Amino acid sequence: MKRPALITGLALLLVLWTVLTLADRASFTVHMIAHMGVVAGAAPLIAIGLSGTRLDFPSTLPWLTPLTASLIELFAVWSWHVPALRSLSETSPPVAMLEQLIFLGAGLALWLSCLGGAATGREERRLVGTFGLLFTSMHMTLLGALLALSPRTLYGDGEVSCLGVTLSSAVDQQAGGVVMLLVGAAVYLAGGVALLARTLNAPLPDR
């Protein structure tokens, strides 16, 4: 299962970054599709593939707990959606590449801290991971709602092309917020619930 997950995650990453390169980077919806695809699609698949290997983050970075990783992701996500940084990413390919690498690193840090690490303490890590993923789901929901319901346009002021569909900047921002709500919040919520279920179903240690 690990090898197919790793291959699928890397392939998805390649597709997402290819689309981002070829599409109109001024479209906030295109950005959000790539963003959510990286952190909520490719990252968990790659994390499954890397767990238990020498590239497993928790094995090499003991300080990287699910709660620490969730705060790193919070800072990365909210920072890159500040209008000034978003505008810089749209106009500068190197900055856009840096943005995507940070998203990938933050996503991998969170998912690997929940799914990886040594067998010792795994159940405790899953329990903490439940809170980390649910917290991430909450702040993704909040940011997505703020973007979708904002009374003014935060990014751009003209029309953009979203995968061949022309949208006004306001509709583009609303659509991007909805993508974050539907994909990001749902995936992290599902991940947190799955970790909690596995923890509750784990056999009790022998006394």
Length in residues, the chain? 207
pTM of the model: 0.89
The per-residue pLDDT for 171 is 93
The per-residue pLDDT for 125 is 76
Query: What percentage of the chain has pLDDT greater than the value 90?
Result: 53
Q: Is the pLDDT of residue 103 over 70?
A: yes
Average pLDDT over residues 51-70: 77
Average pLDDT over residues 106-119: 82
* Mean pLDDT, rounded, of the chain: 87
Average pLDDT over residues 126-149: 91
Alpha carbon of 174 to those of 33, 122, 192: distances in Å? 13, 39, 26
What is the domain partition of the chain in residue ranges?
A: 2-53+65-199
Mean pLDDT check: name the lowest of 51-55, 69-73, 76-80, 106-110: 51-55
Cβ burial, residue 69 (10 Å; 0-12/13-18/19+): buried
